[in-house]
Structure 1
Amino acid sequence: MTLSLIKPPEDTQDTPASPASSTLTERRRARYQRIVRAALQDPRVRTAGRLTVRHASYTLGGARILTRRAWDSRTTARHERMMRAAEAAGNEELVRQWEQRAYAYRFARHKRRMELLQMALNAPKAVGSAAATGAGALLLLGIMLAWYNHNLADILTPTRAVIEFVGWVAFLASVIWAPLLYSLPVLALTGAWAVGRHRQIAPTWALPTDPENRDVVPDEGAIIKALGNLGIAPLNKAIKEGWQPRWVSPTTRSGNGWHTQLQLPLGVTVEMVNGKKRVLAHNLLRKPVEVWPTEPPKQPGVLDLWVADQGSLSGAIPPWPLLTEGTTDYFKGVPVAVSQRGEPIIGKLMASNWMVGGIMGSGKTSIVVALLLGALLDPLVVAEVYCMAYNVDFDPLKPRLRTLVKGDDDEDIEAALKALRNLRDEVTARGKLLEDLGGDATKVTRELALKDPRMRPKVVVFDECHELFMHKEYGKEAAELAIKVMKKARKVAITLVWVTVSPTADSLPRDVTRNTSHRVAFAVGDHVANDGLLGSGRHKAGITATTLIPGEDVGTAVTVGFTAKPFEVIRSHYVARDPEKGVDEVTPVVQRALGLLDGTEPTDEPTFEPADPLADVAAVLGQEARMLTQEVLHRLAERRPDAYREWGPVDLKRALEPYGAEQYKSAGKSVVARDRVLDALAERLAEADAEPYDEEGAA
């Protein structure tokens, strides 16, 4: 009876799920998905996720960097890496240098290991000797103490005192050891996190996006962060894939700004970065004129970045050095501006021709007037100005000028053409005079100019020169004459200065630009005008004045040919003249120049001597083969306190590096070599005496 009431067990495995249970499961799954989606969309959850990923990436990336640094310091990995880079660049000499350094490192490492092994072998003997000596000293001290106190028990007093001291040290170590042991991992992780945070090693989407977190100091982390937000696809891909930048030159202080060099990843060019210059400046909290990304001529694939301090290129500049006193030497140059780093820029006159351009109101006249006034303070100089427009910019200089022609009428244009014809004849005559002199006279010098009035230096300015070159009747002949004069004038002390507001292929003959040594571009409208002034391809290379803002960056210009660097951003000196405000700084300088010319002012020796770091370093080295860098800086400061008083090792390196004569390490000390400096001087002299070459390589 009981057995009949028991039901057999149901087979639940083969029974299909009911529609009701299936619907319930789907509803639960949909609910869970909504909850997860809502959680992921919650700003607090997303912020927490970014924080977690960012700081975890900082820690892991910092640990990787520290591990790599430790590995590099203990092995020749760095040497091998540099050798591969030099081999890829085809620099065999640099490969040999790194091979020698690797050999020296391995030899020194082997020597240290042998010394440690020998020390380990000698350790028992040394420990035993030290213990015996210490015990003997303590025993002797105890005997002396017992003798003094007349108590034999004092013999062991020093030994007991040492034992008690060791016990206290052991007690303190036992108290400190456990917390220190537990804190070591925390300290290690904190150090790794700090390194990773400094380098901003984290996915771009996890980095902080608050603008307030951006620092005004463009260190390595800020630069990588700024580059990662330019919108350059190959660069973003490289960063996402974990690209670790190689800093050719870490961020260092350079004048009134910061300088760094960074090797870009595959598929990313400096031209791409230049195309985003405005965004890059914004990311670095700078104005476009304060950020200059370029590619070094001898380092392809490297981003050379100079970032000015905020507002350093918009404040007041120092007054013109010759405003109240001083005389000049045409053959040594005159002050015309200060560089982007705050250094004085000397305008070279001998063996030079100038091209100055920019839109109206950008400051062209300021640098031309400073150049002319400086030249006129040399009583040997003859100056002429042909201004093919009606303005009064050069009127205050008229008493000291030999010729001043103003206007754009045909007769004024013809006067400028006649001046070029006369210059053509004059360069030929001066060349013949040099040939007749024979001997070592290959170019005009100050001594020759003093002896023969026919060799007096001459500066000729053609303002608004596009009116001359674009003239229907005189333009073609003017272009031909200008090119002939410029190619021959460099050795006979004749300097031509071309000024224009319209730097195009029609207004400036191409060969005139090619044979110009000093090119100055104030604010220009487009890349065509920029390359018309500075040379073809300059805009793509990042050497561009298109980022200068008319009316705001007045007096600021991009220049080529002033220094050994590929370009310089300068701010020209302004010698003010505003009759409406009662300001006239030009006329007193002209009166002083007239006095020098008439003999009422002393003219024995020029008083303005521009600093020449290369020559000055050679002078302070004397006959020393090598000299410590600090000693060189000390002697430079004694020689020219006004120029070198504030100099440091970085300033010296920046001055000598373009010539390959910078300081280097010898026996662990930074030194300057006399041979390098003299070779650089000889090379510079040879370049000055060589024939000029245009951009295509033709003489």
Structure 2
Amino acid sequence: MRGTAIMTTARMPFPRDPRDHNNDNDPDTPQDTRGDSPADTRPDTGTDAGGEVVAFPTGRRTDTPQDTRPDNRPDARVDTIPDTTRDTRPDTQPDTDTDDAEGPVAVPELVEPERLTWSWAVGWRHKARRLWVYRRRYAWNTFIVLGAWSARTVGWWFRGAYRSVRDFTGFIDDRQALAVANQAAGGLDGRADVDAWLRARAERHRELHDRRKVVRSRLALPLVLLVAVWVAARWFDQVEVVRALTAPALLVGWVAVGCWLVYYGRTVTAPFWPSFREPSPFPAVTNDSVTTALLATGIGQLKELAKNGRSPVDVIYRDDAAGGKVAETIPVPGVTTEMLTAKAVVIAGAMKRPPAMVHLSQAPTGVPGHVEILFLDIDPGRTKPRRFAYLGKPVCVGKPCTIGYDARNKPVRWALPGSNGITTGTPGSGKTAYLLQLACLAALDAEGAQLWLADFKGMGDYDELERVAHFYAADPDTTDTARRLRDALLATKKEVARRRVTLTRLKREGSALLDNNAAALTDRLARDRRYSMPWVLFIIDEVHEALADPIYGKEITELLRDLMKIGRACGLHVEIASQRTDADSIPTAISTLPILRVAFHQNGQPGNDAILGTGAYKRGIDATAFRRGAEGSAADDRGSCWFIGSEGGQPVRVRTTFVLPDVKRLITTAHDRRTKAGTLTGAAVGLIEQPEQAPAHSALDDVRTVFVHDEIALHGDVIYRRVATRHPGRWKSQAALMAALKAEAPGWKSPTVDVSQVRPADAPNDAGIERTRKGIRLAHLQDAITERDQRNG
């Protein structure tokens, strides 16, 4: 039984039913404690796909039957690890939302990039990458293996020729019948039976006569035909023609005979084709090596288990989707998962690998001490990170979005709804690139999200995002940025209060836009333009500068604490980032509130435990071990982090996707989507100092005030000039003003229409001349204002 702590058994999968297209759909047996899921890549005791998997009780020779050995050889050692590709199909079922939304609210389907990948391609993609990384070792190993195999085939050829002659003569002489005759004469008990011997000899003589007749008849006819053809060719002087026609056939025949002799002389108990060795420069992952590494941890219970002749390793199998081999330990009384994960560096040293290539995690059974140890083939610090997961794909931040991949090559998702986040890391560890990735996700969701951003570095890292952000502050003067952040937080607090009133009213009405009639924002409600409540991602980089500001720091601290407490249900996600994690830089009243916690490279244990939890460093969750691409080393772990994705969740080591080369392309796409959807607001349309969801100086009101006397229509350039005269610097351009009009009045599809009139005296040009240009009619403007007032109550 796999769950026992003192005994393990060999497990061999039964032949797979060809109709079974799933990874593991058989009912679990009493011995199979794992649940069946699309991501179940471990061998069960019943039918399982993915090749041969053997459990090895110890690293010594045992009396295992021949048909249960890993390579079907009688002399095979039980610690030989079968190099089989595991069938690790990713989850290919898309998320579905069966709830119906009110009105024409269309929630876009979230397309995960890994769901578009064929299951077999995951393993082969790793094999191709491994082939390239270790190409020189592959070439050398191939040369050595093929050379040795060629030498063996030559020996097999000679042995095949000898065996063929021996077996042919043995067939003619019927040596088997002679042995039977001798046995009948009393070869076993020593008592001679002459009559039986004579009868057996007579039977053998008759069999020899028949066999020799058959051999002569089958050899004589082909020889007669060959001689006849040769004589005819000489008689008619056609020897060269016959030779030209038969030469290819003779060549093929000789090659076939040679191949047959090689195959006939092969070693039956050994595989015929050559076995290529692992190209990795690191020691092989075997039962003995992993057991030795576990004993190096110094855990007494494991040593006692080894003294009793048992190995703490349950099974070792290859997982090409993860990119390495996985060793599972058996649960041992007194050994917990934390005890093993805390010794990850010791295990990596015993296996002669960098710590980044060894990952320990709790097995899905949840049994303490049942640990999966992944030994990667390739050092992740020597490979390039994956690119942004949503290039050319729709984004829905109302559902979890992929932000990176864990050590098992599985996607790790970040969730905006109902959470806040804190990100820390030393300079250059990948923190800014991670925040840019989150910002791009919010920007690409044109119909369901808004981006608010404050950068206290003021180095222009986020300048591209100003085109799509509702609020953007990145002044080199941190005091000015702090002032604008304070104003934005105040406006956000007012917006949260408005949303709470709306959500309470919808709950009272029993709206279908809510889930389980809970007063919390849903993705359907966020995309309903009637309520104007999109998801809000508020990023504050280098937040310690804002909290330490001598003028606005105290007020910002209070506002942040309140918003992080009450804003989650209203669709507000605050993501704070800092290089420093001590209580003097970020008060514990703020740093303890976020659920999503991300730790890039840290300088020491205090910073590591402050973000990942008390005792994380001792449990082996060590963000100080990330390599920074030191001079003389090709290994670089920048972009790797420890990620806690849920309340009470376990930290996961993640390699985040790389977005920097694609930021301009993504923001251009986001700007086009938002322009088409009419969701460019705030800073994106030039409103700098009024970051509120419902600004005091709205575009509708600004345009209404420029209609004077009995004017019923105005050209667009005249409207913009009058607004710019009344409110200098509020709107960047005429296009920005028109986009803001469309955003405030979603039902007003075309604010501008053709207007023919005599241009007024304050027109930028052609004053007093009748022209037909795009403009706004007062009646349409009044209807839009009425609709807005009714929507806002």
| Aligned position for 1:425 | 494
**2:386 alignment partner, one of 311, 318, 321:** 318
Alignment of 1:95-244 (within 5 A): 216-230=283-297, 232=298, 234=300, 237-238=303-304, 241-242=307-308, 244=310
Equivalent residues of 2:424, 2:581 under 8 A apart: yes
Matched, 1:447 2:524: yes
SS at match of 1:491: helix
Equivalent residues of 1:290, 1:313 under 8 A apart: no
Report the Cα offset of residue 170 of structure 1.
Answer: 6.3
Report the Cα offset of residue 460 of structure 1.
Answer: 0.7
| Aligned position for 1:354 | 421
Q: Report the Cα distance in structure 2 between the residues aligned to 1:559 and 1:377, rounded to whole angstroms.
A: 23
Q: How many residues align?
A: 407
| Aligned position for 1:598 | 675
**1:410 alignment partner, one of 479, 482, 498:** 479
SS at match of 1:346: strand
| Aligned position for 2:573 | 495
Change (3 A) 1:548 1:68: closer
Matched residue type, 2:641: A
Matched, 1:309 2:377: yes
| Long gaps (5+) in structure 1 | 1-65, 71-81, 87-163, 179-211, 578-584, 604-699
**2:586 alignment partner, one of 485, 493, 508:** 508
Equivalent residues of 1:270, 1:541 under 8 A apart: no
| Aligned position for 1:385 | 453
Q: Report the Cα distance in structure 1 between the residues aligned to 2:414 and 2:537, rounded to whole angstroms.
A: 13
| Aligned position for 1:567 | 651
Matched, 1:293 2:360: yes
Equivalent residues of 2:380, 2:637 under 8 A apart: no
Alignment of 1:539-578 (within 5 A): 539-551=617-629, 552-561=636-645, 566-577=650-661
| Aligned position for 2:537 | 459
Change (3 A) 1:367 1:272: same
Q: Report the Cα distance in structure 2 between the residues aligned to 1:223 and 1:512, rounded to whole angstroms.
A: 43
**2:467 alignment partner, one of 388, 394, 399:** 399
**2:345 alignment partner, one of 271, 278, 284:** 278
Matched residue type, 1:396: E
Matched residue type, 2:378: Q
| Long gaps (5+) in structure 2 | 1-5, 11-28, 34-173, 189-278, 630-635, 681-793
Matched residue type, 2:436: V
| Aligned position for 1:626 | none
Report the Cα offset of residue 314 of structure 1.
Answer: 3.2
Q: Report the Cα distance in structure 1 between the residues aligned to 2:601 and 2:387, rounded to whole angstroms.
A: 22
Report the Cα offset of residue 215 of structure 1.
Answer: 5.8
Q: Which is worse superposed, 472-481 or 448-457?
A: 472-481
Change (3 A) 1:488 1:219: farther
Equivalent residues of 1:295, 1:541 under 8 A apart: no
| Aligned position for 1:61 | none
More helix by share: 1
Matched residue type, 1:424: K
CA offsets per residue over residues 43-97 of structure 1, 9 Å max, x none?
Answer: xxxxxxxxxxxxxxxxxxxxxxx99859xxxxxxxxxxx99xx9xxxxxxxxxxx
Report the Cα offset of residue 309 of structure 1.
Answer: 2.4
Change (3 A) 1:601 1:589: farther
CA offsets per residue over residues 495-540 of structure 1, 9 Å max, x none?
Answer: 1111111122332333434332221111111121112222223222
Change (3 A) 1:354 1:169: farther
Q: Report the Cα distance in structure 1 between the residues aligned to 2:649 and 2:178, rounded to whole angstroms.
A: 65
Q: Report the Cα distance in structure 2 between the residues aligned to 1:386 and 1:412, rounded to whole angstroms.
A: 7
| Aligned position for 2:611 | 533
Q: Report the Cα distance in structure 1 between the residues aligned to 2:428 and 2:406, rounded to whole angstroms.
A: 20
SS at match of 1:373: helix
Q: Report the Cα distance in structure 2 between the residues aligned to 1:168 and 1:483, rounded to whole angstroms.
A: 99
Matched residue type, 1:592: T
Q: Report the Cα distance in structure 2 between the residues aligned to 1:172 and 1:546, rounded to whole angstroms.
A: 81
Equivalent residues of 2:316, 2:325 under 8 A apart: no
Q: Which is worse superposed, 517-526 or 252-261?
A: 252-261
Q: Which is worse superposed, 267-276 or 420-429?
A: 267-276
Matched residue type, 1:526: G
Q: Report the Cα distance in structure 2 between the residues aligned to 1:418 and 1:228, rounded to whole angstroms.
A: 60
Report the Cα offset of residue 467 of structure 1.
Answer: 1.6
Q: Report the Cα distance in structure 1 between the residues aligned to 2:546 and 2:330, rounded to whole angstroms.
A: 46
CA RMSD of aligned residues (A): 4.2
Matched residue type, 1:530: N
Q: Report the Cα distance in structure 1 between the residues aligned to 2:437 and 2:565, rounded to whole angstroms.
A: 25
Matched residue type, 2:487: K
| Aligned position for 2:666 | 589
- TM-score where L is the length of structure 1: 0.51
Matched, 1:520 2:598: yes
- TM-score where L is the length of structure 2: 0.46
Alignment of 1:83-98 (within 5 A): none
| Aligned position for 1:482 | 560
CA offsets per residue over residues 651-687 of structure 1, 9 Å max, x none?
Answer: xxxxxxxxxxxxxxxxxxxxxxxxxxxxxxxxxxxxx
Matched, 1:376 2:459: no
Equivalent residues of 1:592, 1:601 under 8 A apart: no
Equivalent residues of 1:234, 1:267 under 8 A apart: no
Report the Cα offset of residue 335 of structure 1.
Answer: 3.2
**1:435 alignment partner, one of 504, 512, 518:** 504
